[in-house]
Amino acid sequence: MKIFSSLVMLATWSFISYDATGQVDPAIVRDQFIYDTASFPSCHAATIVETPEGIVAAWFGGTNEGNPDVCIYMSSYSQGKWSPPKMIADGWINEKTRFACYNPVLYQVPGGELILFYKIGPYVQGWTGWIKRSKDYGKTWSAPEQMPDGILGPIKNKPLLREGLLICPSSTENQGWRVHFEFTKDNGHSWTKSETLNDGKTLSGIQPSILVHGNSKLQAICRSMDGVLNETWSYDNGGTWTPLQPTVIPNNNSGIDAATLKNGKHILIYNHVKSAKGEWGPRSPINVAISDNGTEWYSSLVLYDEKGSEFSYPYVIQTKDGLVHIVYTWKRKKIRHVVIDPEKLVKGVRIT
């Protein structure tokens, strides 16, 4: 696996990845922070989406994860630069009660509104699902809507629209780590959900990420506490899913994301670290892997590697120009944005 160092360009806080020979890696188009300074000291769990007016990212920020002052912040991307962060959602659930916000997920309705899914709660096991809507691609937002009891929306990673049905990869943590899927045909106004796919004891899973294989075949890869990523498959466009099964891809008990690209290949962003069952592993390095079929994965890039630091919770999309955009948590202090040309990704060592 190739490991890249980084050159800091102080004037713009941008970073360019280099390979072991000192050459700029051809797959990296841009590598930068979304912001340099902000009103909040800590941040996490970024999301990114392409709207008709450009790219928008969001994340949660505040004193520390779980603190009541943690809100959802947003920034828009134009001409290679990000706008200053602005707060777009807070954790007030009534006039007297305020909790932390968690895990925003942005979804652009085709030809319609921009939706923000997010969570509010005193802790993860007790959070509830919320929605806000924007008719101007993030400039202004509606009042918050609490989702129905038992519905949380996409828990970390992006939903998938298939034949008019929005499939939201979801999970719960209050009775073990358990995976399920939630469905809406009307952009979050009404909901149904699948059965839970695992018992949270034999195999664990949260925060699924969906890949598309054609012919109604889908795959979802999940974070786990089992030392490896676990997966589930659907052969009816997400209507039903197989029980969770382990993969060979290591997992450090931290979030991942994946996407199916226009060329049919699949990309996975994760920490290539295996932890013991039930334990937490280091969150460095942060890696890119690629696959032709979703089962055989090959190393491709190391986005960042620094012992003892955290580079985590990636989120990945492909925009209409074909480029791949990745955002991730950088040391809980900033959100990092990387743009990749997927046609220049090099297949490295097979992950076994």
Could you read off the pLDDT of 74-101 as tens digits, one per residue? 999 998 899 999 999 999 999 999 999 9
Domain assignment of residue 5, yes or no = no
Order of all β-strands in the sheet with 286-291:
257-260, 266-270, 286-291, 297-304
Q: What is the pLDDT of residue 351?
A: 97
Question: Which of 214, 216, 117, 215 lies closest to 170, judged by CA?
Answer: 117
Domain assignment of residue 256, yes or no = no
Summarised one tens digit per residue, pLDDT across range 237-273 is: 999 999 999 999 999 999 999 999 999 999 999 999 9
Domain tally, the chain: 1
User: What is the domain range of residue 138?
Assistant: 38-146
Domain assignment of residue 70, yes or no = yes
Whether the Cβ atoms of residue 32 and residue 336 lie closer than 8 Å to each other: yes
Domain assignment of residue 80, yes or no = yes
Domain assignment of residue 83, yes or no = yes
> Whole-angstrom Cα distance, residue 197 to residue 142?
34
Summarised one tens digit per residue, pLDDT across range 125-171 is: 999 999 999 999 999 999 999 999 999 999 999 999 999 999 999 99
Summarised one tens digit per residue, pLDDT across range 185-200 is: 999 999 999 999 999 9
SS3 state at 325:
strand
pLDDT at 7 over 70: no
pTM to 2 decimals?
0.93
Domain assignment of residue 133, yes or no = yes
Q: What is the pLDDT of residue 28?
A: 95
Domain assignment of residue 57, yes or no = yes
Query: b/e per residue, 176-213, with b = 16+ CB within 10 A?
Result: bbbbbbbbbeeebeebebbebbbebeebbbbbbbbbbb
